[in-house]
Amino acid sequence: MGYAGLWTRIYDMDPGCLKQFASFSSRLSLDFEIRLIGTPHDSQIAALSNRYSDRVRSLSLLAPREFPMYYISEFLRNFLGHRASRLRSLELTLLGPYRAEDPYEPLFLGDYGLFAGRVSHLQALSVYCPSGALILQMDCPVFRTLQYLCVASNASWQTSPTIHFMSCLQTWTELRELHLYFGLPTDLTDIPHDISSFLPPFKYESCISLPSIRELHLVDHVRLISNFMAHVSLHPSTVLNFEFIVFDQRIFPETNITRSLAAMNLVEQVSELAGAPPVHVELLCSDSGGTFSAPGSPMGRVQVAWSTVPIPDDDDDDDDDEGPVPQFTLVFLSWGCVITQIASLGLALDTLELSYVKTLALDATEPHFLVDWLPAFTKLQNLRDLRIVEAQRAGRFFKALGIPASPGRACLPKLESMYISVRSMRQSTFDALVKALKDRMDLGSPLPVLRIVMDQNEPLGADREKALAQVVGSMESETADLDFKEEEDEDKKDAGSEANVDGGQGMAEEDEVRTEDAGTQGDDSN
């Protein structure tokens, strides 16, 4: 038996074990995941890593808080200085804040730094660092061979001129997947503060083409993302995922208005790239924020995902595969009271083209159900399938289902089925649902199929089933062990979240400072 297709992943462990595993076969490719902890253990691990560097296919290096940049730089320099000919993937994670008074220079990854021609075969690069801890030379030749790039909180790119950033980006012809967390040049917001001059977005003289990119993930100020999209031409099949803040009660109202305009423009830009209206829409709303938020912050999150082609129902699919996912995802974040969360969802519903949507999935917390749903229902003329998850307090939502769109005409006229999954349903919410379904029946648009899944500890009950069966064509009720908690990769969460939050906190602090500076400069960071 040969070893051509074999490899092994070696996590941080006792140096003796590492040596034993690595010595199994000289043909075996190695994946190293190393955590530096500031003890002699690091030196032994580093020596062994250097010894086997010509067999390492993937290197993941994580350093704890306040770990001196010098040691990290030396580790990488020694490792890359050896024959790292098989290295295809490099991941560098630095946790904790970078202090300008640190006696050590920030890491420099570039032609004249740690790379210096040593990683010519690198295909994937991931860097999670606090702002200021790293300098990435974007015109380094290594970027021209990368297929995957993820950079978080890179101050050196934020301060780079947009023209330089764009000219370098255009040379990354092999890149298929790009993730940038607070890495867009800030001079993309060189737009006059006057709101009337915001649209159309500020443009440079040319628009660059990025035909190789198939996935683009951006977390940044919404105006930066919108203006970046105005400068690039992407393939229509590119998967887009953008995350940004639209409402923040701590800053000038005018700033929130310009953010809203930028978000509206961004939706139009994505829709233009799609080339067709959405037919499948998913709304995931929660009162816990995303990349921008620190634990305990009053951050609301509205995730809007859509596709221009139908996505099949995979509820009964037992496979572990994730299956097809929407091509476009925009995450509207808000900081502050419930009103800002409602405003974020309202903005998304008002902006998105809903006329051709056939399936709509909604998973929301209580505040988001308080939005005025009737305008959205009025636009959903072709909706066939409505799916609602965790609807304990969706009374207002259900009431809107029974309100006529016009005299004698029900809203959602083509609705064929509704699926509700909920752990428990308040009596007031249940009453609103029954009344809405009866009103639809009286208007000549009865719901053909209703399916309700309740938690096994709180089944629907015979009386409720009977009440619903009288106002729908077909009724199905079942119980299940419902658990709506998100499953996350803890290692990835720990590695990336702290670096990403650094950028978000910096944004909030910057806005607060500029708010205190009376004048029209308060919008520059958006």
Residue 512 lies in a domain: no
Residue 17 lies in a domain: yes
Per-residue CA distances from 386 to 312, 367, 380, 394 (Å)? 13, 20, 11, 14
Residue 413 lies in a domain: no
Q: How far apart are CA 8 and CA 261, in angstroms?
A: 50
Residue 366 lies in a domain: no
Tokens of 455: 């938690």
No. of H helices and E strands in the chain?
13, 23
SS3 351: helix
Is 11 within 8 Å of 33 (Cβ atoms)?
A: yes
Instruction: Name the nearest CA neighbour of 342 among 249, 221, 226.
Output: 249
Q: Which tens digit of pLDDT belongs to each residue from 75-124?
A: 777 777 666 677 899 998 877 655 555 555 667 776 555 676 666 788 99
Q: Give the number of domains in the chain.
A: 1
Give residue 240's region: left, alpha or beta (phi > 0; psi -120 to 50).
Answer: beta
Residue 424, pLDDT score: 85
CA dihedral 82, 85, 89, 94 (to 10 degrees): 10
Q: How far apart are CA 195 and CA 497, in angstroms?
A: 33
CA 415 to chain centre: 30
Residue 30 lies in a domain: yes
Residue 341, pLDDT score: 86
Per-residue CA distances from 390 to 221, 318, 361, 483 (Å)? 31, 22, 11, 10
Q: How far apart are CA 136 and CA 113, in angstroms?
A: 9
The letter for the amino acid at 111 is D
- Which secondary structure element, helix H or strand E, spans residue 92, and what is its range? strand 89-94
End-to-end CA distance of the chain: 59
Residue 525, pLDDT score: 38
Residue 495 lies in a domain: no
Long-range residue pairs from 238-241, CB within 8 A, at least 24 positions apart, any chain: 238/213, 238/214, 238/273, 238/327, 239/214, 239/215, 239/327, 239/328, 240/216, 240/270, 240/273, 240/327, 240/328, 240/329, 241/215, 241/216, 241/217, 241/328, 241/329, 241/331
Is this structure's pTM higher than 0.95? no
Q: How far apart are CA 137 and CA 213, in angstroms?
A: 20
Note the residue count of the chain. Answer: 526
Residue 99 lies in a domain: yes
Burial class (CB in 10 A: 0-12, 13-18, 19+), 304: buried
Residue 455, pLDDT score: 87
Instruction: Name the nearest CA neighbour of 23 among 51, 58, 61, 60.
Output: 51
Burial class (CB in 10 A: 0-12, 13-18, 19+), 290: buried
Range of the domain at 44: 1-140
12 Cβ contact partners less than 8 Å away, ≥ 6 residues apart: 33, 34, 35, 45
Task: Give pLDDT < 50 ranges for the chain.
Answer: 1-7, 12, 191-204, 316-321, 485-526
SS3 341: helix
Residue 475 lies in a domain: no
Q: Which tens digit of pLDDT belongs to each residue from 17-67?
A: 666 666 655 666 777 777 776 665 666 666 666 666 777 888 888 887 666
Burial class (CB in 10 A: 0-12, 13-18, 19+), 32: buried
Tokens of 340: 């800002």
